[in-house]
Structure 1
Amino acid sequence: MFHPLRVAEVSPLTDDSVTLTFEVPDELRAAYRYAPGQHIAIRRRVGGAEIRRTYSLCDPVAAGAGPGPRRLRVGVRLVETGEFSTYALKELAPGDVLDVMTPAGRFVLEPRPGRFAAVVGGSGITPVLSQAATLLAREPRARFCLIRSDRTAASTMFLDEVAELKDRWPDRFQLVSALSQEEQQTGLPSGRLDTGRLEALLPALLPVAAVDGWYLCGPLGLVGAAERALRKLGVPRSRVHQEIFHVDEPPAPGPAAAIPGGGTVRATLDGRAGSWRAQAGETVLETVLRNRPDAPFACKGGVCGTCRSRLVSGEVRMDRNFALEPEETDAGYVLACQSHPLTPEVEVDFDA
């Protein structure tokens, strides 16, 4: 659900990134409680068209339930031709009001004892910063290793916040930095963190088999490389969690939908069910949105998982999936924004 929130601060991070801080009214604080690693969607209307973008919350979560946060803070990096990121960096100002969705996402690390590690690239640091800061502050028996990759030192987001974690918990927080386009005096040699490099690096940094949870976040290339390296090192899939921030590749071509148009999509949303005729080429989400504009979505790219729903009956083809874990797809969950009906009738449940 979206609510209008006032922008409290727009603070520069690097030459091409800022943090946005939103004020949360007292009556909405409970609705905006979040777990470390979750994200929000921001909605803006431009010339009658709606723009939605998803950004991870970067601040730690305080101990205890409490009434919820007074403020929400996200990091925004400028994306070439990106409508919202350009607006955020060049026009957005304190006092402006934007529609903000309540927190969502399953890329979450709840504080618990153990050893944890993350491999992040670029703005992928954002949710992991919240995870690491929350874990270290609330669980004295936990350790965290952060391996981060950035283009240059000047482009590195949240440099001060990460340095503070290292200073505050030197015995429990390990930081390893790599720059792909610049040499650095300390840390790893320059260059990309590909599968072979990570396969050699990770065992040299920490006992891979003893890590209770791996958190991979950033562009598709880095996350895929890290996942392959961990698989080669024998890490169980259940210990690996990932969130993709950038996907430049087009979806792989799949078999043509058996139902080019005229089928029926039935959906349950907020306790109300309805059935609607699908038009040719539509995804399940597009069919639902024509009749239920409140259907949840953010990126429409198969990345954020906001449109996750359970397939109750029928069959669909998903063009791409960078949000659902294998156990979720095995349990019948799909991304409505990527799902095309393959049977005359398809039923999904957004409430499941």
Structure 2
Amino acid sequence: MTSETRTSTAVDSRDPSAALIGDVLTVDRVVPETADATTIGFAIPDARSADYEFAPGQFVTVAVPSAQTGWVARCYSISSAPSQPGVALTVKRTTTGYASNWLCDNVSVGDRLRVLPPSGLFSPRSPEADLLLCAAGSGVTPEMSILRTVLESVTGRIAFFYANRDAESIIFGDELAELGERYGERLVVEHWLEAERGRPTAGDFARWAQAYRDREIFTCGPAPFMQMIRDGAAAAGFDTVRIQTEEYRSLTGDPFEPMAEFTEESLSDAGHVEVNIDDETYQLAWPATHTLVDVMVHSGIDTPYACREGKCGACTCRLAEGEVDLGRTDALEPDDIADGYILGCQAKPASKVIKIEF
């Protein structure tokens, strides 16, 4: 899979006493990064620490209070490294973005917000990898988590192509300068400022990136920027299969809403699924009315998922035996589907005996 998706959705949930999914976490730090960007940190209770362990590049979903709809749910990339305490995300306000403006204007230390545990696939396989990171604007947030983690390793090196409107727009500018001094040649940062050089072209990027064409690319930002990176990488001779992207899509459902319960009628004609996950094997009844994620969560299994709409890829697994109705497959590439990969939050049984591997 070559893409990762951050998602957002408006949620109408007016009953705060409902048995909602997620955890209510306390804000323990609020740090202004630029005039338009703020880092918000959450303390994680000891009892929930295992569920909030994360890989660099992952995201969390936050329920942002709304007087009109109860709240709106937004997914924000984690900008802190796994070695740092708690979980921190960095939010950049957008002109018409209700949630980003509310968070930047209203959140204070001590506030409590509902959050879903970390999820996502936009993460390097090894913290000691040599990587080429490419970001525009707020796309720096997952890249910063990856950058911090790789530099903490013994040998990993980072080349970072970072585009912004002007110098005042650079999120984490001071920290990047400090890290450059501390790690020397292990960190190379190319700041591209539109106000001084115009928007970068594929040719601009290819000329700069040629020295790093043996590295895997992680890119995050607006779609035109990421396409420019793909085109420039191809021109520079990169293996374009090794380009990981994070994309932005909208949702229509409610990731905090409790999952539908089983009924006697649905269980009466259920199929059977064997699920292999985290070196454990589970034998489960799988009603045709429910997705695989529904079945696993109801069975008390620690299940990877986030959006529940087939868009984030967090619940990707492989169909080893049997048949399923795929449902939506937005987060999968055609080659993924051909190789037997499915989305657990969408798949429903189409045969009586099924085997799934995570």
TM-score, normalised with respect to structure 2: 0.71
For residues 323 and 70 of structure 2, the distance between their equivalents in structure 1, rounded to whole angstroms, comes to 33
Count of residue pairs brought into register by the alignment:
304
State the match for 1:178 in structure 2: 192
State the match for 2:6 in structure 1: none
- Residue 131 of structure 1, aligned match among 138, 141, 146: 146
- Residue 332 of structure 1, aligned match among 324, 340, 344: 340
Residue type of the alignment partner of 1:131: I
Q: What's the CA shift for 1:276? A: 2.3
- Residue 323 of structure 2, aligned match among 313, 316, 320: 313
**1:43–1:222 distance in 2 versus 1, CA, 3 Å:** same
For residues 151 and 350 of structure 1, the distance between their equivalents in structure 2, rounded to whole angstroms, comes to 46
**1:113–1:310 distance in 2 versus 1, CA, 3 Å:** closer
For residues 354 and 35 of structure 2, the distance between their equivalents in structure 1, rounded to whole angstroms, comes to 43
State the match for 1:24 in structure 2: 44
**1:296–1:176 distance in 2 versus 1, CA, 3 Å:** same
Q: What's the CA shift for 1:105? A: 1.2
User: Which moves more between the two structures, 46-55 or 84-93?
Assistant: 46-55
State the match for 1:218 in structure 2: 221
1:152 aligns to 2:158 (yes or no)? no
Q: What's the CA shift for 1:225? A: 1.6
State the match for 1:275 in structure 2: 288
**1:10–1:112 distance in 2 versus 1, CA, 3 Å:** closer
Residue type of the alignment partner of 2:286: A
Q: What's the CA shift for 1:44? A: 3.7
Q: What's the CA shift for 1:275? A: 2.3
**1:144–1:93 distance in 2 versus 1, CA, 3 Å:** same
RMSD: 3.8
Paired residue secondary structure (2:131):
strand
Q: Which has the higher contact order (CA 8 A, sep 6+)?
A: 2
Checking the alignment, whether the CA contact within 8 Å between 2:132 and 2:218 is kept in structure 1 is yes
Paired residue secondary structure (1:102):
strand
Deviations 1:85-112 (A, max 9, x none): 1210112222111111111111112545
Q: What's the CA shift for 1:196? A: 3.0
Paired residue secondary structure (2:289):
strand
TM-score, normalised with respect to structure 1: 0.72
Equivalent residue runs for 1:47-196 within 5 Å:
47-62=68-83, 70-139=85-154, 141-180=155-194, 182-183=195-196, 190-196=197-203
Deviations 1:103-137 (A, max 9, x none): 11111125455532111111111111111111112
Paired residue secondary structure (2:220):
strand
**1:102–1:333 distance in 2 versus 1, CA, 3 Å:** same
Checking the alignment, whether the CA contact within 8 Å between 1:11 and 1:18 is kept in structure 2 is yes
- Residue 307 of structure 2, aligned match among 282, 298, 301: 298
Checking the alignment, whether the CA contact within 8 Å between 1:29 and 1:70 is kept in structure 2 is no
Checking the alignment, whether the CA contact within 8 Å between 1:21 and 1:73 is kept in structure 2 is yes
For residues 180 and 351 of structure 2, the distance between their equivalents in structure 1, rounded to whole angstroms, comes to 54
For residues 215 and 90 of structure 1, the distance between their equivalents in structure 2, rounded to whole angstroms, comes to 30
State the match for 1:11 in structure 2: 31
Q: What's the CA shift for 1:7? A: 0.9
Q: What's the CA shift for 1:169? A: 0.7
For residues 50 and 37 of structure 2, the distance between their equivalents in structure 1, rounded to whole angstroms, comes to 29
Residue type of the alignment partner of 1:298: C
Deviations 1:45-80 (A, max 9, x none): 534545221111112233xxxxxx642111001123
**1:192–1:25 distance in 2 versus 1, CA, 3 Å:** same
Residue type of the alignment partner of 1:58: S
Paired residue secondary structure (1:79):
coil
Q: What's the CA shift for 1:149? A: 0.6
Checking the alignment, whether the CA contact within 8 Å between 1:53 and 1:298 is kept in structure 2 is no
Any gaps of 5 or more consecutive residues in structure 2? 1-20, 251-268, 276-281
**1:70–1:334 distance in 2 versus 1, CA, 3 Å:** same
Equivalent residue runs for 1:254-269 within 5 Å:
none
**1:225–1:95 distance in 2 versus 1, CA, 3 Å:** same
Checking the alignment, whether the CA contact within 8 Å between 1:220 and 1:247 is kept in structure 2 is no
Residue type of the alignment partner of 2:176: V
Checking the alignment, whether the CA contact within 8 Å between 2:219 and 2:244 is kept in structure 1 is yes
For residues 81 and 233 of structure 2, the distance between their equivalents in structure 1, rounded to whole angstroms, comes to 27
For residues 72 and 201 of structure 2, the distance between their equivalents in structure 1, rounded to whole angstroms, comes to 34
Residue type of the alignment partner of 1:152: D
Percentage of pairs with the same residue:
25
**1:83–1:202 distance in 2 versus 1, CA, 3 Å:** same
